[in-house]
Amino acid sequence: MTTEIIECILFYTERQPSIQLQEIQQKLIDTGICTIENCPGQNSISKSLRNDLLLTRKKIRVVPRESQTAQIETKLDDFINFISTSNANNLYFFDETSFLKTSGNRKYGYALYGHEPIEIQRYASSATLTVNLMHSRSGVAYFNFVEGPSDSLHLLNFFVEVFHQRIYGLPILKPGDIVIMDNCRFHNSRLIQNQLQYLFRVNGVTLRYQPPYHPELNTCEYCFKLIKDGIKRENHYYEEHMELAICNSVVNNINRTISENIFHHCGYTWLHWFRICGHKYIFMDL
Whether residue 21 sits in one domain with residue 81: no
- Statement to judge: residues 156 and 271 lie in one domain: yes
60 domain residue, yes or no: no
Amino acid in position 233? R
Residue 170 domain-assigned (yes or no): yes
**Would you place residue 133 in the very low, low, confident or very high pLDDT band (cuts 50, 70, 90)?**
very high
Shared domain for 160 and 99, answered yes or no, is yes
Same domain (yes/no): 183, 260:
yes
- Is 275 a residue whose pLDDT tops 60? no
CATH of the domain at 169: 3.30.420.10
pLDDT value, residue 172:
95
Q: Are 100 and 228 in contact (CB under 8 A)?
A: no
Res. 242: pLDDT tops 70: yes
Percentage of the chain exceeding pLDDT 70: 87
The answer to whether the CB of 220 falls within 8 A of the CB of 239 is: no
Taking residues 244-271, report their average pLDDT: 88
pLDDT of 95-123, one tens digit each?
Answer: 999 887 655 566 677 877 888 887 666 55
Question: Are residues 136 and 194 both part of a single domain?
Answer: yes
Tell me the one-letter amino acid at 229: D
pLDDT band at 61 (very low <50, low <70, confident <90, very high): confident
Is 62 inside any structural domain? no
Mean pLDDT of the 184-213 span: 88
- Residue 161 and residue 30 share a domain: no
**Average of per-residue pLDDT across 229-249:** 80
Please tell me the pTM assigned to this model.
0.74
Same domain assignment for residues 96 and 37: no
Phi-psi region of 270 (alpha: psi -120 to 50; beta: other; left: phi over 0): left
- Residue 93 sits in the same domain as residue 206: yes
Checking if the pLDDT of 39 tops 70, the result is yes
In a domain, 191, yes or no: yes
Is 84 part of a structural domain of the chain? yes
Q: Read off the CATH number of the domain in which 24 is found.
A: 1.10.10.10
Q: Indicate if the alpha-carbon torsion angle 9, 11, 14, 18 is positive or negative.
A: negative
Q: Are residues 92 and 230 in the same domain?
A: yes
Distance separating alpha carbons of residues 100 and 246, to the nearest angstrom: 11
**105 and 30 in a common domain:** no
Helix (H) or strand (E) holding 194: helix 190-202
Assigned domain for 35 exists: yes
Query: Total domain count for the chain?
Result: 2
Residue 12: give the domain boundaries: 3-52
Does residue 255 belong to any structural domain of this protein? Answer: yes
Same-domain status, 40 and 129: no
**Greatest alpha-carbon span in the chain:** 80
Residue 59 placed within a domain: no
Same domain, 191 and 149: yes
